[in-house]
C-alpha cells in the first residue's frame, strides 16, 4: 500500500526531521510504500497535497503539527471542487501544539500514530471555512481545528517567534501571558446563524471544530469534529486580572466555561466584524482582517483515527 507523506522538517524546533527516519522505518516495517515530500516554507504543504491528489494519491499522511496539517487540509479543499475522490488523511503529530490530535485521540507517540494510520478507521470529519475580508480584497482559508480572532492572534504571533524546545504547554502559556501584557481589546460585532449575538470590547472570539488549542487548552470540551456544528465562544467585559484567574487559569481543565463572562453558543455560521484590522489565528497560523465569515462544511474530509475513537 502506497502512502504519500508530507513532512515539515522544522516542526517542533526540528523534532520532526529528527524522528522522521524512525517513522519511515516503522512504516516500511509494516510493508508500506513510502513517498516522502519535505516542505520548504509557508503553504508549501498545500501545493504538495494538490500535486499528490493530481498524481492519484489515496492516502496522504502529515508529519508535523496543526499548522502543517492545516496546509494539507487546504490543499484537499482546493481540490474538492472537481469530482475526483479525495484521499484519506493521516496525522502523525510531532508539532508544538498538536491540538487536533488530542480531539481525535491520535497518539502523540510516533509508533502508535503509525499503528493508528494503518490499523485505524477512516472517519468523516468536518472542516471550517473562513472568508477573510478587508477593504481591498478577500480570501478563503480552511481549518480542521479552530479559528479565533483577537487575543489568540497575538498569542500565535509571539509563539511562532519563540524557540519551540520549551514544549507546547510552556510555549503557549508564556506567549499567552506576554500577549495579555500588550493586547488591547478590540470592538467586535458578532452574528451567529444570521442573528445578532453581541457587540463590545472583546478579548477573544473563537469558532471551534476541535476541543483544544494553544498546546492543550481545553477551549471547547463540548466540541465534536463530526457533528456539523461550530462551538462559538467569546470573552468580554472583564479585566486582565480576572481574565488570567478565571479564563487562562482554568482553561486547561475546561472550567473557564463556568465564568460568567465566557459566553458560548452553538451554530453553523459566525460573522465577526472589527472596527480596525484584527489579528486572528487559524490552526496556529496568523491572519489579519477587518471582517470574517466562518462556516462549517460537514464531513468534508476523512481522517484515520483509532477504532475506539470513532
Q: Give residue-wise pLDDT tens across range 35-84.
A: 999 999 989 999 999 999 999 999 999 999 999 999 999 999 998 865 56
- 290-303 pLDDT tens trace: 999 999 999 999 99
What is the distance between the alpha carbons of residues 280 and 145, in angstroms, rounded to a whole number? Answer: 14
- 242-300 pLDDT tens trace: 999 999 999 999 999 999 999 999 999 999 999 899 999 999 889 999 999 999 999 99
What is the distance between the alpha carbons of residues 170 and 181, in angstroms, rounded to a whole number? Answer: 17
pLDDT band at 145 (very low <50, low <70, confident <90, very high): very high
What is the distance between the alpha carbons of residues 221 and 212, in angstroms, rounded to a whole number? Answer: 8
For residue 6 the three cell numbers come to 508530507
CA distances from 215 to 84, 239, 254, 266 (A): 35, 24, 14, 23
Q: Which of 63, 66, 89, 81 is nearest to 6 (CA)?
A: 63
For residue 71 the three cell numbers come to 496546509
The pTM of this model reads 0.92
Average pLDDT (127-134) is: 97
pLDDT of residue 181 exceeding 60: yes
pLDDT band at 97 (very low <50, low <70, confident <90, very high): confident
Tell which phi-psi region holds residue 154, choosing left (phi > 0), alpha (psi between -120 and 50) or beta: alpha
Pairing of strands 262-267, 195-208: unpaired
pLDDT band at 162 (very low <50, low <70, confident <90, very high): low
Domains and CATH numbers, the chain: 2-126+301-309 (3.40.50.10330), 128-298 (2.60.200.40)
Amino acid at each position: 500500500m502506497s502512502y504519500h507523506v508530507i513532512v515539515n522538517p522544522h516542526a517542533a524546533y526540528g523534532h520532526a526531521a529528527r524522528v522522521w527516519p524512525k517513522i519511515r522505518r516503522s512504516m516500511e516495517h509494516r510493508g508500506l510504500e513510502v513517498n516522502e515530500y519535505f516542505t520548504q516554507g509557508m503553504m508549501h504543504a498545500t501545493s504538495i497535497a494538490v500535486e499528490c491528489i493530481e498524481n492519484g494519491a489515496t492516502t496522504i499522511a502529515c508529519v508535523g503539527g496543526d499548522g502543517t496539517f492545516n496546509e494539507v487540509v487546504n490543499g484537499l479543499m482546493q481540490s474538492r471542487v472537481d469530482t475526483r475522490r479525495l484521499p484519506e488523511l493521516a496525522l502523525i503529530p510531532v508539532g508544538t501544539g498538536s491540538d487536533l490530535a488530542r480531539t481525535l485521540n491520535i497518539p502523540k507517540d510516533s509508533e502508535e500514530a503509525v499503528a493508528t494510520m494503518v490499523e485505524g478507521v477512516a472517519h468523516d470529519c468536518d472542516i471550517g471555512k473562513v472568508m477573510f475580508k478587508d477593504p481591498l480584497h478577500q480570501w478563503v482559508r480552511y481549518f480542521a481545528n479552530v479559528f479565533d480572532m483577537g487575543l489568540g492572534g497575538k498569542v500565535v504571533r509571539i509563539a511562532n517567534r519563540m524557540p519551540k524546545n520549551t514544549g507546547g504547554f510552556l510555549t503557549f502559556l508564556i506567549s499567552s501571558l506576554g500577549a495579555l501584557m500588550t493586547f488591547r481589546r478590540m470592538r467586535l460585532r458578532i452574528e451567529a446563524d444570521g442573528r445578532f449575538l453581541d457587540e463590545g470590547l472583546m478579548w477573544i472570539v473563537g469558532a471551534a471544530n476541535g476541543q483544544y488549542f494553544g498546546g492543550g487548552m481545553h477551549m471547547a470540551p463540548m466540541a465534536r469534529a463530526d457533528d456539523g456544528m461550530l462551538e462559538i465562544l467569546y470573552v468580554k467585559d472583564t479585566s486582565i486580572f480576572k481574565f488570567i484567574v478565571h479564563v487562562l487559569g482554568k482553561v486547561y481543565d475546561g472550567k473557564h466555561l463556568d465564568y460568567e463572562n465566557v459566553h458560548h453558543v452553538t451554530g453553523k455560521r459566525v460573522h465577526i466584524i472589527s472596527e480596525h484590522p484584527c489579528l486572528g489565528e487559524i490552526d496556529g497560523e496568523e491572519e489579519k482582517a477587518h471582517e470574517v465569515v466562518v462556516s462549517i462544511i460537514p464531513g468534508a474530509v476523512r481522517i484515520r483515527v483509532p477504532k475506539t475513537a470513532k
